[in-house]
Amino acid sequence: MTGLTGRNAACSVKWCDETGMHAVHRKYLASVKGGINGAGVVGVNVAQRVQPRASVCVELTVTTPWASTAGYLLATPSVPDIAAALSEAADRATELDGTRERRD
Ligand SMILES: [Zn+2]
């Protein structure tokens, strides 16, 4: 690198996948077709706002065909709790879905 920062220049933050101007440094980690009937994509990224002393956190994004991509920055210490809650909700949903058939 020469130190010139063109529009498509790679970011100076080593782990960042973004190029050009961006407000958030981002490393794309996972992309899951998580919507009902495969309609949406849930992305998981490592992200950090481009501002002094911003902490590196986890970003969750939701992309659907009918709306612009929504993103949310999660505080890193909370992520294991959120992951556990998601797993528990999924277990509960699977369980409830299974009991639906046998109700009659
Ligand atoms: Zn960056």
C-alpha of residue 87 to centroid of ligand 1, in Å: 31
CA 76 to centroid of ligand 1, rounded, Å: 19
pTM of the model: 0.78
The identity of residue 84, as a single letter, is A
pLDDT for the residue numbered 26: 96
> Quick one: three-class SS letters along 58-98?
EEEEEEECCEEEEEEEECHHHHHHHHHHHHHHHHHHHHHHH
Alpha-carbon distance 62 to 35, whole Å? 9
Give the Å distances, CA to CA, from 27 to 85, 87, 97. Answer: 24, 24, 35
Q: How far is the CA of 42 from the centre of ligand 1 (A)?
A: 21
- How far does residue 3's CA lie from ligand 1's centre (Å)? 15
Q: Output the pLDDT for position 38.
A: 76
Over residues 33-41, mean pLDDT: 86
**Pairing assessment for the beta strands 67-74 and 24-32 based on DSSP bridges:** unpaired
